[in-house]
Structure 1
Amino acid sequence: MAASPPALPDPGPEPKRRRLRTVVTVLWAAAALALTVSMVGRHGESPDAAGPPHVPSAVSAASGVPDLPDTSAAPLRSAAPGAGPHLPPSRPVRLLIPKISVDAPFTDLAIGPSGQLEPPPPDDTNLVGWYAKGHTPGEAGTAIIAGHVDTTTSPAVFAGLGELKKGDRFQVVRADGVKATFAVDAAESFDKDAFPSDRVYGDTEDAQVRLITCSGSYDRQARDYTENLVVFAHLV
């Protein structure tokens, strides 16, 4: 059963957009535990399935993405008194993490018939997904980005995610022509049976992102990794 969502304040006379964010937060928190159980590790067995995640492989940087302005030149707004800056909603187009050679396009993720968030397609090693009914990266709130650590044949886009440390930066290229820049706050692994859903998926007043993949040891019987790695980051 999914963990209960955090208590939410009465939206009162807040704008329609804020009330919509509250509804999305409740729906997302209800699906949070299912997400950690189902996504984003190995699909099927491979000869070294009992070992740790594959080491990252180099990813081509030839993306054709134009040189776009970063968030320092964008019209940042404050969500509420004392809250951090944020951007208007805009779809993510590409994820850029120079430290681990990630340059990957986005695909939309949705809740499937089973009630679980569907992971990105398993046969594309350079693809990340975002929960398309949640917050867009850079918008006030918590945006969710997921990627595979490996496939049955090779490392995948988030194979090197565990190398990120506090202070590292990455960017999300958005459809509005802005590169939203995020700074890493922490990178932590959690047992899938004790995943802190409220902490990871809870709504925030400022613009934050969670990068999520599988980690830990590989359980041959369950055909899944035992942990989820979560990178916490905020818009700068």
Structure 2
Amino acid sequence: MCAIGERQGEQSTRAHALSLLALAQWHRGELAQASMHAKESLRIMCTFNDTLGTVLLVERLAWIAGTAGESERAAVLLGVAQQLWPLLGGQSLLGSPHYHAAHEACEQQARRALGDRAFQIAVDHGAALDLDQAVAYALGEPAQPSPSTPTAPTDEPSTPLTRRERQVAELLAQGLSNKDIAARLVIAQRTAEGHVERILTKLGFTNRIQLAAWVAEQQQGRHS
């Protein structure tokens, strides 16, 4: 199918065929080939703005990295996938028990290898990348610099929080529980709990009431 798609110039079909080939090669332990074909498929998916294809390939590249012992890379890619799944508005990992099992195995392996703190730092790094940076990281390529433009003042107040942590903080301020936040962001509850703990620590707060007041001040600053 890959060869047919290449001969006919049908890149979308070829990208999906390469994605499935990479998955099969990962199962067989052919990690170098699996990584190469997953990256090739990802490049094509991005030209079509195929979000589903992109996030599936990021997930697969995380699994491949984890199996290859590249635990930090696997954790960063899991963080990238974590921020992309909600864009699809449905179940993460397509609700597939096989995909969920692979994801959990990858997460557990990386967490054991790195330790909880280093694992979460890597996941947060992946979740904070914008799409171009995330794809470049997944492909193992340097992110392309943005065109030079004068620095413009921003309406966004400076905070020590990552983009994901700001999302969690805003949901906390709305009164959502850790379980509800996890469901809203399509992440594990323990991941949400970790975000909450880090947010409170970074801001020097001891409870959610203080955090809610801080979020309100931040939002007022953006609109004043």
TM-score band, normalised by shorter chain = under 0.3
Higher strand share: 1
Determine which structure has more spread, i.e. the larger CA radius of gyration: 2
Higher relative contact order (CA 8 A, sep 6+): 1
TM normalised by structure 2 equals 0.27
Higher helix share: 2
